[in-house]
Amino acid sequence: MKLLQRIRRLTFSAVLALAALAPAAIAPANAQTVESIKKGGVLKIGSQVAQVPWGFTDASGKLTGFDIELGEMLAKDLGVKAEVTPVTSSNRVAALLTGQVDVLAAVMGIFPDRQKVVLFSRPYTTNDTVYIGKLSANIKGWNDLKGVRVGVPRGTPQDIAITKAAPAGATIQRFDDDASTVQALVAGQVDMIGGAATQVRNIEQVAGAGKFEEKFVVARAFNAFAVRPDAREWATYLSDFVARKLASGELQALYKKWIGGDLARLPDTGEGEAALPVSMVQ
């Protein structure tokens, strides 16, 4: 039971966000410019705060994580104070469109339906769906899963993917959530699991380093800053910010710190390439 509770904390089932946003106002937000943000002296950043390693409260009570530090880096670049507003996946767009926040750095993947309602900067990181197994296992793709026990959270993209692609002889075991799936891997009930790439480091904290690794990528999404649809100048500034931080190596360092490994190739726009074919990321 203690193991399961610990895994739940490390696999995005931590304490709920600090506070849910108040119901969104009906009136639309005023037009936004880079100059207006600088004059105000504060950058209001919408971030998820119960999503390890993107945004969460550490053992000392400090709000931290990849998106949190990136937002602080952006505020410094603007010469203003960073102010984080907790958002969730369901209310983050409303918080942006109604002016409660200036920008979203909130595990916001670029997808066509979202591109219809917000503007994205160029991506600043990848967010992969992967399969994770023992370091010693020689598994590089679907064809290597014959005779392998694979655990997945029920109804997730990784469940759907393996249901379609698994070869004859693979055993699929479905669990209620990420935490139970990870526990099954650590306990040896399954040989591999499907999940987010960020779970590799979480698993290491439970099982120890050097035992499990990412085996192959199923899908790759790209996370980016999101702004209101009328804030073209602001989106352009953010894309330039990302380009500069890539050139300086600061984004790569941030990725290595919070996600681990090397940052993959990123598109240079938030309006075109939203995902790479699996063949390009394996």
Q: Say if CB 144 and CB 138 are below 8 A apart.
A: yes
Provide the pLDDT for residue 134. Answer: 95
Written in H, E and C, the secondary structure of the chain is: CHHHHHHHHHCCCCCCCCCCCCCCCCCCCCCCCHHHHHHHCEEEEEECCCECCCEEECCCCCEECHHHHHHHHHHHHHCCEEEEEECCCCCHHHHHHCCCCCEECCCCECCHHHHCCCEECCCCEEEEEEEEEECCCCCCCHHHCCCCEEEEECCCHHHHHHHHHCCCCCEEEEECCHHHHHHHHHCCCCCEEEEECCHHHHHHHHHCCCCEEEEEEEEEEEECCEECCCCHHHHHHHHHHHHHHHHHCHHHHHHHHHCCCCCCCCCCCCCCCCEECHHHCC
Q: Is the pLDDT of residue 7 over 70?
A: no
Q: Is the pLDDT of residue 271 over 50?
A: yes
- What fold does the segment set 128-220 form as a domain? D-Maltodextrin-Binding Protein; domain 2 (3.40.190)
Q: Is the pLDDT of residue 276 over 50?
A: no
Q: Is 99 left (phi over 0), alpha (psi -120 to 50) or beta?
A: left
Residues 6+ apart with CB under 8 A from 108: 92, 114, 120, 223, 224, 225, 226
Gap between the Cα atoms of 36 and 53, Å rounded: 31
- pLDDT bin (cut points 50, 70, 90) of residue 231 is very high
Q: Which residue has the higher pLDDT, 7 or 116?
A: 116
For residue 168 the two structure tokens come to 């004859």
Would you give the end-to-end CA distance of the chain in angstroms?
36
Provide the pLDDT for residue 29. Answer: 55
Share the mean pLDDT of the chain: 86
Provide the pLDDT for residue 9. Answer: 54
16-20, 61-65, 191-195: which has the minimum mean pLDDT?
Answer: 16-20
Residues 6+ apart with CB under 8 A from 21: 85, 86, 87, 88, 91, 94, 95, 100
Strand partners, 212: 134
16-20, 53-57, 85-89, 117-121: which has the minimum mean pLDDT?
Answer: 16-20
In the chain, domain spans: 9-124+224-267, 128-220
Q: Is the pLDDT of residue 47 over 90?
A: yes
CATH assignment of 9-124+224-267, among 3.40.50.10070, 2.40.110.10, 3.40.190.10, 1.10.10.10:
3.40.190.10
**Phi, psi angle pair for 82, to nearest 5°:** -85, 135
Q: Is the pLDDT of residue 230 over 90?
A: yes
Gap between the Cα atoms of 162 and 131, Å rounded: 10
Provide the pLDDT for residue 33. Answer: 92
| Model confidence, pTM | 0.74
